[in-house]
């Protein structure tokens, strides 16, 4: 059985999903939704997608669409997830699930009422580097004592990953911190019981803090220190240091190194080295097997509860 997909958001991240889906059998993108019709048509032609629109509602009316992947601006994630579930479609929404806690709670409630698969793109759960560490944790061979994480970008103007102007403003707390807050609790296997945050000055044009520091503590005593910046002029990205009882590991996206900076082969961890593709594979497998996916909206909701607490603190 082929799963027919509508993908909303034909920008930098939507294209990453299209590239990942090409490698997954019996999945077909049949509808592409984008803000600018001409640009969206261009992407659709390249990937052989028949239907193009600027309106998600139009795609949700297509009977053969089984599932939707949302790669749209943060502020639309929760409301669009709800629209997909109300239309009877499975949904995978890119991180973050929401930027207001009650909206995320509404998505989780509706998922439970409809029984549809609803998943959030917490890619770090799927990157082979982090999976390798998790396998050692699950085998009882490694326990996290501290995670030290740096999320650094150079984004003093409102640009996306392709260097194109954004129609919306990205957020260190609700987007970039969400990756680490969720991953820390997931890898520690313990809920976050203490969270503190401080932030730098608010940017006069963008209206957001460009620098932030977050401290977390899990119930089992594990610690996490997270530094975030949009002011960092390279190297860019997120770098994770796992400090544990039996070793130290550095994860840089899909690559992993030990404390001596020797590379660890993670190529056999999963069927692909592409975290986005692995995330999509989990989404489609959960639909076929009628089960809860890893990174379901219910599983990631505690992360957004922590972000909400931190937002209250910063306010």
- Residue 282, helix vs strand vs coil: helix
Give dist(CA 90, CA 285) in Å, integer: 12
What is this structure's pTM? Answer: 0.95
The answer to whether the beta carbons of residues 228 and 214 sit under 8 Å apart is yes
User: What is the length of the chain?
Assistant: 315
Residue by residue, pLDDT tens for the chain (315 residues) are 999 999 999 998 999 999 999 999 999 999 999 999 999 999 999 999 999 999 999 999 999 999 999 999 999 999 999 999 999 999 999 999 999 999 999 999 999 999 999 999 999 999 999 999 999 999 999 999 999 999 998 877 766 666 677 665 678 999 999 999 999 999 999 999 999 999 999 988 888 899 999 999 999 999 999 999 999 998 889 999 999 999 999 998 889 999 999 999 999 999 999 999 999 999 999 999 999 999 999 999 999 999 999 999 999
| CA atoms of 148 and 296, how far apart (whole Å) | 25
Q: Is 192 exposed, middle or buried (0-12, 13-18, 19+ CB in 10 A)?
A: buried
- Tokens in use for 246? 């039996």
CB-CB contact of 89 with 116 (8 Å) = yes
- Kind of pairing between the strands at 3-8 and 67-70: parallel
**Residue 240 DSSP SS3:** strand
48: its two tokens? 């052989």
């Amino acid at each position: 059985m082929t799963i027919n997909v509508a993908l909303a958001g034909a920008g930098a991240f939507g294209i990453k999903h299209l590239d990942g889906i090409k490698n997954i059998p019996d999945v077909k993108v049949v509808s592409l939704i984008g803000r600018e019709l001409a640009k969206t048509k261009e992407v659709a032609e390249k990937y052989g997608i028949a239907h193009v629109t600027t309106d998600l509602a139009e795609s949700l009316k297509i009977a053969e669409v089984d599932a939707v992947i949302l790669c749209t601006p943060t502020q639309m994630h929760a409301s669009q997830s709800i629209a997909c579930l109300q239309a009877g479609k499975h949904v995978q929404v890119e991180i973050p699930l929401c930027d207001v806690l009650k909206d995320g709670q509404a998505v989780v409630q509706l998922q439970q009422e409809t029984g549809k698969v609803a998943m959030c793109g917490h890619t770090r759960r799927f990157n082979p580097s982090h999976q390798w560490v998790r396998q050692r944790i699950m085998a009882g061979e490694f326990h996290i004592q501290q995670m030290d994480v740096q999320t650094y970008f150079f984004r003093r103007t409102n640009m996306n990953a392709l260097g194109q102007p954004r129609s919306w403003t990205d957020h260190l707390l609700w987007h970039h911190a969400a990756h680490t807050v969720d991953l820390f609790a997931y890898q520690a296997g313990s809920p976050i019981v203490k969270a503190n945050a401080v932030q730098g000055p608010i940017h006069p044009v963008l209206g957001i803090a460009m620098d932030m520091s977050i401290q977390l503590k899990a119930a089992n005593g594990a610690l996490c220190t997270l530094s975030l910046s949009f002011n960092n002029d390279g190297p860019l990205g997120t770098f994770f240091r796992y400090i544990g009882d039996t070793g130290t590991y550095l994860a840089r996206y899909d690559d992993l190194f030990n404390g001596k900076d020797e590379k660890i082969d993670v190529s056999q961890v999963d069927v692909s080295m592409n975290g986005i593709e692995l995330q999509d594979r989990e989404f489609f497998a959960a639909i076929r097997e009628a089960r809860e996916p890893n990174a379901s909206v219910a599983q990631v909701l505690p992360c957004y509860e922590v972000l909400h607490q931190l937002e209250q603190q910063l306010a």
